[in-house]
Amino acid sequence: MKDISNTIPSLAECLTYAGGTKYMVVKEGAFAELPQVLGSYFCENNSKKCFTACFSDKNTYTAAGKAVQEILQTAGIPVAESYIFEDDIHAEYKHVEKIKAILKTVQEKAEYGTQAILVPVAVGSGTINDLVKRAADELSLPYLCIPTAASVDGYTAYGAALLNEGFKQTMSCRAPIAVIADSTVLSEAPAYLSSSGFGDLAGKIIAGTDWIIADHVFELDGKGELAPGTAPIENIAWSMVQNPLKNNLVSSVNAVKGDKDAVKILFEALGITGFALQYMKDSRSVSGCEHMWSHVWEMEELCMDGIPVTHGHKVTIGTLAGAAFTECLFKEKPPLNKTVPNWAEREAVVRNTFAALPQILPLVLKTTQDKFIGNTDKLIRLREGILDNWDNMRNDVFKKLLPYAELRSLLKDAGCPVRPEAINLTRERVIRSAYKAHMIRKRFTVLDLAFELGIFDTVLQKMEMSDYFG
């Protein structure tokens, strides 16, 4: 692995790398900046006029939406539409179509002149933001993000994580032009939303160790041709996400208690990971197998007492699962396995694994086949290269990975669920979900490392015999 910079860029520097988002502020009374921000960043330094369409739910309208609209109207910026979703809104693509229809209706009224710019305003947490983001992108409209909780990294991300025909995917779309977050609003959000954000941020630890693994495998031939989905580490994205990560986690552990300073640190850290996404136009820098575990449970519609489990809480358990899997894999160097799988057998396993989710089976089959290595010579060369580089890879991974026990303690202190039962899972289901998690993305992670070495089942057996998730 090449040398990686240990510098930590400032928020201003991260904004220059982002490309899409031009301004982000997190402070008390931030909403007062709305008129100036709209004029400067949406209306070409006030050379044009703009009007808005605000989207919120009942809770976020009360928390911020009403105040935002009053400030806009007082400043003479029209609010052409104020749409309030029902409380049970989910990140499903069908809602994007509804938002688009509303925005088109507003545009067609033409009450504000043909040269006036329509600015969709997302007031809420991750779901509302992702829905408005995608709708705005499909209509080529710039949008403004008003977050109401430090709950996800998706506010500033280049892309929206949406369920479409039962398959959870990150759909490409431009990030918000500006993000205006009031620290008081963030700190007063329900505690479970702050702990969700903390879990999402903690997941970057596994994203980091998975990227280290992918980098090592990429460098085996210097071209990444031995295994699909590998990628070299990119210094700038790494410095934004990974270099400040441990300090940010320790400093934001009290966000769940409404501590304003901790919430500010948490939100800015989440925002900057989104800037890394913008910079890379790819989620490799912020997402590894921990998100794949989470995506599986999202596709299975995991609920607790009839309420969908938050993204960050699913990522939390996925993070612990990823840490446990990584520790078990690297406990000892495996022998060279010369058994080579064949596609017919693999296809049968995939079909059986996703039998209960037939609507997404075609996509899973394609993903699995795209990364399947069926050439015997190529697979043996890959295995030999990995084993020859085993000690270096292991050492680099463990420099980044927090030990499972330490990670669990940190997550618990931050109010995150650390036992599967806390989000209506079982220990067995978490471990067995590794099979599905490995099949849904081409990105090379620790799951792929185990599979290509022919030790996937062995690693899961070690997890089953351990005291993880206790």
The CATH number covering residue 131 comes to 3.40.50.1970
pLDDT > 90? residue 44: no
Q: Of all helices (H) and strands (E), which one includes residue 249?
A: helix 245-251
Which range marks the domain in which residue 400 is found? 193-231+284-465
Q: Are residues 356 and 386 in the same domain?
A: yes
Structure confidence at residue 88 as a pLDDT band (50, 70, 90): confident
182: β partners:
27
Domain co-membership, 112 together with 168: yes
- Summarised one tens digit per residue, pLDDT across range 244-287 is 999 999 999 999 999 999 999 999 999 999 999 999 988 999 99
Per the structure, how many domains does the chain have?
2
Please write the tens of the pLDDT for every residue from 167-221: 777 788 999 999 999 999 999 999 999 999 999 999 999 999 999 999 999 999 9
pTM of the model: 0.93
Burial class from Cβ neighbours inside 10 Å (0-12, 13-18, 19+) for residue 92 reads middle
- Position with higher pLDDT, 388 vs 5: 388
Please tell me the predicted confidence (pLDDT) of residue 240: 97
Q: Determine the pLDDT at residue 110.
A: 64
Determine the average pLDDT of the residues in 298-307: 93
168 and 205 co-located in one domain: no
**Which residue, of 158, 189, 220, is where some domain finishes?**
189
Give the confidence band of 398 by pLDDT, cuts at 50, 70, 90.
very high
pLDDT top residue among 163 and 105 = 105
Nearest alpha carbon to residue 386 among 158, 221, 251, 166: 221
Any domain includes 249? no
Whether the predicted pLDDT of 222 surpasses 70: yes
- Give pLDDT tens digits for 210-219: 999 999 999 9
Question: In 330-375, which residue ranges form alpha helices assigned H by DSSP?
Answer: 343-353, 361-370
User: What pLDDT score does 166 carry?
Assistant: 72
- Say which residue the tokens 């179509």 belong to: 97
- pLDDT of 111 above 80: no
